[in-house]
Structure 1
Amino acid sequence: MRSLSAALLFCALLSGCASPPSDPSGTWINQAAIDAATAGGNLREALLAYGPNLEWQIDSQHRLASFSNGYERDEGTFERQADGRLRVDYYGDVQEFLNLSGSELVQAQSATWPEQRFVRAPAAPAPLAPLGSSFEHALYSAYLGGTWLIEEGLGEGGLVLFNADGSVQGLPGAERYALCLAGDCAAMSGEFDSLWLQLGEQGQSWIFEREGNQLRVFAALNRAQIDEMPDFYKGQQRWLLKRR
């Protein structure tokens, strides 16, 4: 009996020789990218510096791993390796490796991506919420959260609220917004950050610059021909907002 107890104690001291690895199931977001974006500068450059992947969803029961990078969403199956890492297989012969490191999910450096780190999303996504929405909600809350005063432009003196779910209150002519994170909208706005403002079924792109607690929104003028992809550049300032 003493020998058995000693063996069990020795095993426990070695971090649990028979304990199963931690379950990575759930939604993981790239908080470092959010922090970099909130610190200032170009939004998309900050996301790329710590991305490009922005969110992972892990389903251990079905051995599925899905990622979003702001425009592309893909799903793969995974196998747990002897060292505890998850080998994710997708795109035929493409593989990525994920592992838990303390409270972080780490995507290992590969031929496709640099090393990237993710933390658990503060809340589970709503049922049927699209992949990537947890990251977007966290980004919107950190990047545009709070109350903004219209210092210049239509509605001057009014207060604006950009909500985490993509709704906006108090901005004349808009009830929904979306920040451009990557993809076609990024190609169309080039070096500039852009956002989409929508009222009802009608919407359009705008150029924006955020510096500290100031947000400037400019008209997005198109220099492309009618049969070409839009090529936006900064036009006249429409709004100057200041976070209170």
Structure 2
Amino acid sequence: MRKALALSLVALLLGGCASNPADRDISGTWINQAAIDAASEGGSLREALQAYGPNLEWDVNTRAGQARYTNGFENVEGKLLGEESGAWKVDFYGSSASELKRDGKQLHQVASENEPEQLFDRAQIPVPDGAPIGASFERALYSAYMGGSWKIINGPGEGGTVQFQADGQVSGLPGADRYALCLTGDCASMSIGNDNIWLQLNGQGNTWIFARKGKELELFQAVNTALADEMPQFAPGERKWLLKKQ
């Protein structure tokens, strides 16, 4: 009896030791779920990204000693240095460094002089093989922020149902078969503080300004207020659609 108990304790201790490396492993794709959750409350997408960003996704390969991230505007690759006391340092070839840790089921990016503290969750929605970094965040955001059925309350196709898919397809919205939300970069700089969305049909499209208020989504024509030799500056013009989430 005592021998069996001793063997059980040894097995338990060995099992616990074996599980520790997995608990600290940071390999895989991690997305900024906090920003997605904040946006999904039905407010401004830009404000949510600014509050919980700037980084949207990390892709880490501990075996290869590589780590990279995207903030939606630039993709940055770095060298993953060895683990020390549960922390992994990412060296961006002498220009800067980040520190990553496992915090339970989340990846913790430690605050630095350049960036605030951020938390990331493992990506759950699959993306096609070879998809660029950021695709996991984008699909998760599209699913949470734009997913479901929307009824056209006012505008072309009034009374119909619109569905925005996680892969960027849209159905039921007259004149559009694909869409893309502006996350950051030039498209954000050109929208004068507004959220904007790209709508296209058969490969041809335009920028639209949108405003999300709870279950309501307004889409406005984008009016360029800049001079001909200046970078475009889009302001909301006439409202084209009012959609309501069902």
TM-score higher than 0.5: yes
Shift of 1:39: 1.1
Alignment of 1:12-51 (within 5 A): 12=13, 16=17, 20=21, 22-51=24-53
3-state SS of paired residue (2:90): strand
How far 1:84 sits from its partner (Å)? 2.1
Question: What is the alpha-carbon distance in structure 1 between the residues aligned to residue 19 and residue 179 of structure 2?
Answer: 50
Q: 2:217 aligns to what SS in structure 1? A: strand
State the distance in 2 between where 1:148 and 1:210 align: 12
Alignment map for 1:1-244 (pairs within 5 Å): 12=13, 16=17, 20=21, 22-244=24-246
Q: Which amino acid aligns with 1:239?
A: W
Using the aligned pairs only, state the percent identity: 53
Q: Give distance in 2, aligned partners of 1:129 and 1:216.
A: 30
Unpaired stretches in structure 1, ≥5 consecutive residues: none
Residue 26 of structure 1: CA displacement? 0.9
* Letter in structure 2 aligned against 1:199: L
Whole-Å Cα distance in 2 between the matches of residues 237 and 18 of structure 1?
Answer: 56
Deviation per CA, 1:50-76, whole angstroms, max 9, x where unpaired? 111011111122111111111211111
**Post-superposition CA distance 1:134-175 (Å, at most 9, x none):** 111111111011011111111111111000000100111111
Aligned CA RMSD, in angstroms, stands at 2.1
Is the contact made by 1:75 and 1:90 (CA closer than 8 Å) also made in structure 2? yes
The whole-number CA distance in structure 1 between the counterparts of 2:149 and 2:18 is 52
Range with bigger deviation, 20-29 or 30-39: 20-29
* Structure 1 contact 27–124 (Cα < 8 Å) conserved: no
Partners of 2:121 and 2:77 lie apart in 1 by 19
| TM-aligned CA deviation for residue 18 of structure 1 | 10
Relative to the length of structure 1, the TM-score reads 0.92
State the secondary structure of the residue aligned to 1:111: coil
Q: How does the TM-score come out when normalised to structure 2?
A: 0.91
Residue 82 of structure 1: CA displacement?
2.0
Mapped contact 1:26–1:58 kept (Cα < 8 A): yes
Distance in 2 (CA, whole Å) between partners of 1:17 and 1:199 is 53
Question: How far, CA to CA, are the matches of 1:62 and 1:17 in structure 2?
Answer: 22
| 1:27-65 C-alpha deviation (Å, 9 max, x unpaired) | 111111001111132211111101110111111221111
Cα displacement (A) at 1:79: 0.9
How many residues of Structure 1 are paired with residues of Structure 2 in the alignment? 239
CA contact (8 A) 1:207 1:218 kept: yes
Q: 1:18/1:54 Cα in 2 relative to 1: closer, same or farther (>3 Å)?
A: closer
Partner amino acid for 1:12?
L
- Could you say if the C-alpha distance between residues 61 and 81 of structure 1 is closer, same or farther in structure 2, counting changes exceeding 3 Å? closer
AA partner of residue 46 (structure 2): R
Q: Is the 8 A contact 1:30 1:135 kept in 2?
A: yes
Q: Deviations over 1:82-125 (max 9, x none)?
A: 21211101153310000101000000000111000001011343
Query: Which residue identity is paired with 2:185?
Result: G
- What is the SS of the residue equivalent to 2:226? coil
Asked if the contact 2:42–2:215 (Cα under 8 Å) also holds between the matched residues in 1, the reply is no
